[in-house]
Structure 1
Amino acid sequence: MNRLQFYFKAQTAHGLHSPSIYTLYCEVLNPYLKGQLTYPQLIEGLRHHYSDCAIIEMEQTMDPAQISQNTVIVVKNPHAIEENWYAMYSHEAVIQTVDLFDLGLLFFKPICPKQHFYLRKMA
């Protein structure tokens, strides 16, 4: 998917129907997209927001079946490794995904319904 296709598919907080993703977007993701948070601050914000989860930065190909529940995987440039990204988010163990184009989040949280969110910066 190229950036233009992503832009037309993505939404801001106004279209979110998940309270947990809405809160994450408003408190952590949108400030990161606006350049108000650095990448390390984003990771710290995720750790704070999901204190009951392990936050793992994906550095290599991972097998979703080997990831434990209550884990959030952070993927830099998911569309650069698009085939792997689609394989990961399509796996049954992945419950929710957030695609920011330059960054992706994979949630392994068993209590949530399976959903994929494409989010962009809100002015």
Structure 2
Amino acid sequence: MRLFQKIFFLLQAQTSHGLHSPSVFNLYSEVINPILQKRISKKIKTDELIQGISQYYAQEIDSGEVFPLVIPRLSPEIYQQIDQDLLPKAQFNSILFILNPYETTLSQDIWDTLVDDPRVIHSIDLFDMGILRFNPLASKQHFMLKKSYT
């Protein structure tokens, strides 16, 4: 099942070509793709992505700091906490990292629900990690990004 999800994801996802958001283009080119290109363990790659993306957004916003929160696994109980406690309090400098959003059919359904939530302004899907941001001044956008093979 996960193999079919990965194939479907790869058919939909894009690289830097066609990204119309300058911010996401720069994030992809400067942080995400260079880390995805590395031949390192999944754990180290995940840690580097979280750190690199957090640092990128910290430089991009006025306050200079972001508040990342990492959710290792989605479940109905975790979704309820996100929906009732985190999303109402999320600010422009909050980042929610969801690890393994496609781990199960249930986690994928929860991920899709979060992406569709109007409080989530930017969502970036890397298949093994989902990233949610909450800047109310931006327009809602969803990006599916994959490693560039150039």
Amino acid at match of 1:76: L
User: Which moved further from structure 2: 5-14 or 50-59?
Assistant: 50-59
Aligned equivalent of 1:43: 50
Inter-partner Cα distance in structure 2 for 1:35 and 1:76: 19
Aligned-residue identity in percent: 35
Contact 2:98 2:131 in 1 (8 A): yes
What SS does structure 1 have at the residue aligned with 2:17? helix
Contact 1:12 1:122 in 2 (8 A): yes
Which consecutive residues of structure 1, in runs of 5 or more, have no partner in the other structure?
A: none
The structure where helix makes up a greater share of residues is 2
Which consecutive residues of structure 2, in runs of 5 or more, have no partner in the other structure?
A: 59-64, 73-77
Alignment of 1:111 with 2:109, yes or no, is no
TM-score (norm 2): 0.74
Amino acid at match of 1:73: L
Inter-partner Cα distance in structure 2 for 1:104 and 1:26: 17
Alpha-carbon shift at residue 69 of structure 1 (Å):
1.5
Contact 1:46 1:55 in 2 (8 A): no
Contact 2:32 2:53 in 1 (8 A): no
| Stretches (4+) displaced over 3 A | none
Compared with structure 1, are the counterparts of its residues 122 and 57 closer, same or farther at alpha carbon in structure 2 (3 Å cutoff)? same
- Which structure has the larger Rg over C-alpha atoms? 2
Amino acid at match of 1:53: V
Alpha-carbon shift at residue 74 of structure 1 (Å):
0.7
Alpha-carbon shift at residue 111 of structure 1 (Å):
1.9
Q: How many residues align?
A: 123
